[in-house]
A and B are shown apart, each in its own frame.
Chain A
Amino acid sequence: MRLALIALLLAASPWLWAREAPPAADDPVLEARAMKLAAELRCLVCQNQSLAESHADLAIDLKNQVREQLRAGRSDAEIRDYMVQRYGDFVLYSPPLKATTVLLWAGPFVLLLAGALGLVAYLRRRRLLVANPALSVEERARARTLLEGDRAE
């Protein structure tokens, strides 16, 4: 049974790849570079996927564009610029640090700092409370009667 399943999967696998953009089999190093770069670029048609993952027509065209430019000897940075010129910073999964993206980059650290400050303030207040119990003599007496009354029942 298991053998049959494996055989079926093996038989089906070429068909499963069929929608993948044709890899540049002639140069595996270049293909690896192209795929690494494509993984950093957002597919604009299906925005939660990278170019590498997406099978959208445009993503396939853009992957081929990446391959062609790598073959023509362009650097990764030049290809990233090429994409940004056309689709904006949005195409990059890690956008550059700019005035408009400061919040994006600094936001998590600001939140972390705020949380840490809040925690420190809370702990300090709690320690003070423990050090100086806020019960007066009468309150203590009342608490005692309450507790003892409880035990008596």
Chain B
Amino acid sequence: MNRFLLPFGIFLVLAAFLWVGLGLNPREVPSPLIDKPAPAFTLPQLHEPARTLTPQDMRGKVWIFNVWASWCVACLDEHPLMVELSKRNLVPIIGLNYKDGRDDALAWLRKHGDPYTLSAQDASGAVGIDYGVYGVPETYVIDKEGVIRYKRIGPVTPQVIEQQILPLVRRLQG
């Protein structure tokens, strides 16, 4: 009996590790940018390319930075949530249109609604690289001092908004 106990114990430990591993999301890579200043950029605005947008413009405000593209299917999933959030006027949402065509992006916003206070256009994806973007949509919360406090890779869900993003925004605003 005893001789089976040890292999069985090892099996149980292995099974437990694998079971936990099944529940982990390999795409959720901890961002090294948390608690670091938001990387600076100056980009043309999506709606008025003659004007520019930089994170400096948002100093003194808590804001949400949402990276999206018209070619991104998951962005469409989360978009109604962003539109709804913007209607509640709790926090400005700045959009970063990532590696997209301007006409495609504008048409997409016309069709699905525009939740963004302002939108910047990152046609080359260079700003996306600075923000460590690798799976659009991505969502950041940036505080009054311009420090990144939160990052979400992939679409937000109602729970993420209510339980993570909004409590953090309220705390940072307060």
Contacts and interface: CB of A to CB of B under 8 A. Distances in A.
Interface of A: 44-45, 47, 57-58, 61-62, 65, 84-90
Given A47-B26, A65-B129, A86-B129, A58 B32 contact: no
Interface stretch (B45-53, B89-97, B130-138): B130-138
Interface residues on B, range: 10 to 19
Nearest to A43: B134
Given A86-B131, A86-B132, A44 B29 contact: yes
Residue among B30, B31, B32, B33 facing the most chain A CB atoms (10 A cut-off): B32
Contacts of A87: 29, 32, 132, 134
Contact of A88 (B26, B27, B31, B125): B31
Contacts of A88: 29-32, 132
9 contacts: A44-B29, A47-B27, A58-B129, A61-B125, A86-B33, A87-B29, A88-B30, A90-B29, A90-B30
A58 B125 contact: yes
A87 B26 CA distance: 14
A47 B26 CA distance: 8
A44 B30 CA distance: 12
B89 to A, nearest CB: 32
Interface of B: 26-27, 29-33, 99, 125, 129-132, 134-135
A31 B125 CA distance: 22
Contacts of B129: 58, 61-62, 65, 86
Contacts of B135: 44-45
A85 B32 contact: yes
The 5 lowest CB-CB distance pairs between A and B, nearest first, are A44-B134, A86-B132, A88-B32, A90-B29, A87-B132
Contacts of B31: 88
B99 A57 contact: yes
Contacts of B32: 84-89
A23 B135 CA distance: 25
A45 B134 contact: yes
A87 B27 CA distance: 12
Contacts of B131: 86
Contacts of A84: 32
B29 A58 contact: no
Residue among B29, B30, B31 facing the most chain A CB atoms (10 A cut-off): B29
Contacts of A44: 29, 134-135
A47 B25 CA distance: 12
Residue among A44, A45, A57 facing the most chain B CB atoms (10 A cut-off): A44
Contacts of A58: 125, 129, 134
A86 B130 contact: yes
Contacts of A89: 32
Contacts of A86: 32-33, 129-132
Nearest to B124: A61
Nearest to A88: B32
